[in-house]
Structure 1
Amino acid sequence: MNNLNNRLEALTPTVLSLVRIVFGFLFTLFGTSNLFDWPIVMGVPTGSWPGWYAGLIEFVGGLLIMTGLFTRIAAFLCSGAMAVAYFWQHQPLALWPIVDPQYGGNGGLPSIAFCFVFFLLVFTGGGRYSLDAWRSRTPQP
């Protein structure tokens, strides 16, 4: 069992980077939907509060998180944005964050998932395969 733990421990930085990339990419897609109506048409008018500005945070923050550039700061802001989104937009509709409001939920599950994954990234950073890690390497003589 100790051997398995050692192997999994060795993979932790790689898996952390993979989770960061996947969640950053998905978050960016929410932003592009709000800002550019792609890949899904959201129909958010340019400059409208709060949808367009949320899309801007999702797009820019998602790109920063996906690439691992300024990961901790971007993740902090995006986590907060998702907490606000949940309590402003989803929680007033119903108590349970089930994805489909048709079944008595509030559709807030993605907001909660993004909020807590990004909150984790605030403390762990971008991982081994991030621009932050690349920037912090000291040149070897």
Structure 2
Amino acid sequence: MFDRVSTWQPQLLSLLRIVAGLLFVSHGVAKVLGFPAIEGLPAPGLSLAGLSGPLELVLGALLVIGLFTRPAAFLASGFCAVGYWMVHAGQGALPIVNGGETIALYCFVWLYFVAAGAGPWSVDAMLKRR
């Protein structure tokens, strides 16, 4: 049964990139545009959240469409690693304690895309075919 599912691996790679990218973009939209309304957002421009919002927005958009996927994922992964250590690590040793589960997961998902690429449903794949 699972052998047949593995034939969908390339498409599922693209689907993971798109969904994770949309979720990443939502962080940027909240920080930059204040939507949805979350207490303390939009973030002031020179605050840590104010500086991270545009990065999440731009890198997330590139990842959603699958353009420059490997470099965008590399930057996003590094950004998430730095964010984890700057914001969360000082609040406790474990991500479940310090609230860093999401950013830690993003870090490794983006690191995976550095190695795996965008998948077939991407601008990168479309450009490669040409």
TM-score after normalising by structure 1: 0.86
Q: Which residue of 2 aligns with 1:85?
A: 83
Q: Which residue of 2 aligns with 1:137?
A: 129
Whole-Å separation in 2 of the counterparts to 1:43 and 1:128: 35
RMSD value over aligned CA atoms?
A: 1.2
Aligned residues: 128
Work out whether 1:114 is the aligned partner of 2:106.
yes
User: 2:32 pairs with 27, 31, 35, which one?
Assistant: 35
Whole-Å separation in 1 of the counterparts to 2:2 and 2:75: 36
| 1:126–1:40 distance in 2 versus 1, CA, 3 Å | farther
User: 1:128 pairs with 99, 103, 120, which one?
Assistant: 120
Q: Which residue of 2 aligns with 1:51?
A: 49
Q: 1 or 2, which has the higher helix percentage?
A: 2
Whole-Å separation in 1 of the counterparts to 2:21 and 2:2: 29
Tell me the CA shift for residue 90 of structure 1: 0.1
* Structure 2 counterpart of 1:15, one-letter code: L
Tell me the CA shift for residue 9 of structure 1: 2.5
TM-score after normalising by structure 2: 0.93
On the 8 A contact 2:42/2:50 being kept in 1, the answer is: no
* Structure 2 counterpart of 1:11, one-letter code: W
Runs of 4+ in 1 over 3 A off after TM superposition: none
* Structure 2 counterpart of 1:115, one-letter code: C
SS at match of 2:35: coil
- 1:20-52 residue CA offsets vs partner (Å, 9 max, x unmatched): 00000000000011111112432411x213221
Unmatched segments (≥5 aa) in structure 1: 99-104
Q: In terms of Rg, which structure is larger?
A: 1
Unmatched segments (≥5 aa) in structure 2: none
